[in-house]
Amino acid sequence: MPALTDPRAGLGWSYDKGPFGELRNIRPVWTAELDTTTIVNIVRQTLRIPKHSPCMVERLAQGAFNTTYTVRYGGKDIIVRIILPVHPHLKLLSERATIEYVRQHTDIPAPKVLQYNAMLDGYQHVLEHEIAYEWMIMEKVAGTTVLEQWPDMSWLKKELIVRKVVAYLAQLFRRRFDQLGSVYASKDLEHMSAANDMPKYLEHMSADDTDAPDAVPLGAEHSTDTTAFSLGEIVSIPFFYHDHWRVHVPRGPYKHSRDWLAALLQLAMYDADNMSNFRDSDVPEDEDSDEDPDSVEATKSRIRRLYQVMPRIFPVEEQTEEFVLHHQHLTEDNLMVDANHDLSGILGWECTHTLPLWLACQIPPFLRGPDRDEPPSFVAEFKNAAQEDVYYDHMDHFEKTALREFFIAEMKRVCPEWVQVHVDSDMKADFEFAIGMCTRSGYGEDVDAWLDSVENGDEPEPLRAMLGQC
């Protein structure tokens, strides 16, 4: 493999279009092959495994931004994650620091990072026999995902998992920050600056952007005997997705969530401005009429309306705000359980950053879904597979409804302040959700209806509940 100087080398984007030439999806793709022999060599060298000791590698999973391998040696397994350079250096560094912070300040079972390489010394130093992607070696969490085990778990075990998650979220909730951003180890940022790679990474920023706040050192209450932490530039999908890294927007840390939301709206407007670039040239212009809620003009109008109502929901008089470190992706495939169906680990810490209380105090994703107060009628024998699927879907909805009630009751016992923030935060959480949905095909009319109610001073139907997202 030739030496590389582009920190995003090896990353490409695939464009999926619909029947009318509309953009349906943009997906990150790997443009260079991953060699398992090289992965084994990295593990041997990093962990000092003798050449005569067997070392086997097997691909475990393919995520959106990384490929995960299991490496077995000496009777034990470890995890190697090869990372797509969607946000060079900082994505890996913030994930590693976040995991260390969580392990040091809570008893959340996050997997230990054994070693990592964020390419801070530059991609031009990569040799032909080395891998030209950033990587991380981690402990392997025992067990399987909740997603795999959920149908076979007893009700008691499901309640115990909810109880554990409540305890973990309460621990994070009690540790406050005064800005919104990603967590870094201060020594990593110093190394990055000393390696003189920062100017290359920020070459897309204008001269005016040099006045943006640098990483903010956190106080002694956030540090440990071995690591000092800082808050810095946010690592979040909307900020690095596709070509968003080129867009000149403030990237944090932010002192108020208004500033973060304004940056998200800027990125949404950028996407709307560029919608026409992804349409086929032979699609008639009248296909993109103002009556179409997914048209360019309708989308831009929706974004402008969100800008206009933001001061009503986030008054400028609110000068100070508190934030907490929050795992936004507590899904069934990021929760691990052991053979006894007890929670054994929490995965998926990439892109975790501090969030305002009103967004952190929401029902975790693994408990979300449609409300169902009554169980489905028992079926002794299913007529077909479709009927069986519907039955178990409805049973899952019924169980999740009951578990959400249990979650709130348990959180009220453990951390009443969390529940009070949750009760008071519907409008703000819906606004953030509306930003995420305003450019997505098929959701424009729902966001418009919600905006109509807000602009009229009515009590809007909660947008997330309307779309089954809370």
Among 38-47, 290-299, 401-410, name the most confident range: 401-410
Q: In sequence order, which residues have a C-beta less than 8 Å from that of residue 264 and are 6 or more positions away?
A: 238, 432, 435, 436
Q: Are 463 and 446 in contact (CB under 8 A)?
A: yes
User: Of 84, 160, 129, which Cα lies nearest the Cα of 340?
Assistant: 160
* pLDDT tens digits, 395-443: 999 999 999 999 999 999 999 999 999 999 999 999 999 999 999 988 9
Write down the pLDDT at residue 139: 97
Higher pLDDT, 193 or 71: 71
- The pair of structure tokens assigned to 338 is 């052991």
**Lowest-pLDDT range of 242-246, 285-289, 316-320:** 285-289
pLDDT of 2 strictly over 60: no
Q: In sequence order, which residues have a C-beta less than 8 Å from that of residue 138 and are 6 or more positions away?
A: 78, 79, 80, 81, 111, 112, 113, 114
Write down the pLDDT at residue 173: 98
- The stretch 252-272 carries a mean pLDDT of 97
Write down the pLDDT at residue 225: 84
Higher pLDDT, 291 or 24: 291
* pLDDT tens digits, 135-177: 999 999 999 999 999 999 999 999 999 999 999 999 999 999 9
* Confidence grade of residue 389 (pLDDT, cut at 50, 70, 90): confident
- Domain spans, the chain: 142-466
Inter-residue long-range contacts of 20-24, CB under 8 Å, 24+ positions, other chains counted: 20/280, 20/283, 20/287, 21/278, 21/279, 21/280, 21/282, 21/283, 22/278, 22/279, 22/294, 22/441, 23/275, 23/278, 23/279, 24/441
- The pair of structure tokens assigned to 89 is 């250096």
- The stretch 277-305 carries a mean pLDDT of 73
* pLDDT tens digits, 51-94: 889 999 999 998 889 999 999 998 899 999 999 999 999 999 99
Write down the pLDDT at residue 470: 67
Q: Which residues of 151-168 are buried (b: 16+ CB within 10 A; e: fewer)?
A: eebeeebbbbbbbbbbbb
The type of residue at 11 is: L
Write down the pLDDT at residue 201: 42
For residue 46, count CB atoms less than 10 angstroms from its CB and return exposed for 0-12, middle for 13-18, buried for 19 or more.
middle
Whole-prediction pTM: 0.90
How does DSSP classify residue 185? E
Q: In sequence order, which residues have a C-beta less than 8 Å from that of residue 10 and are 6 or more positions away?
A: 4, 30, 31, 32, 84, 85, 132, 133
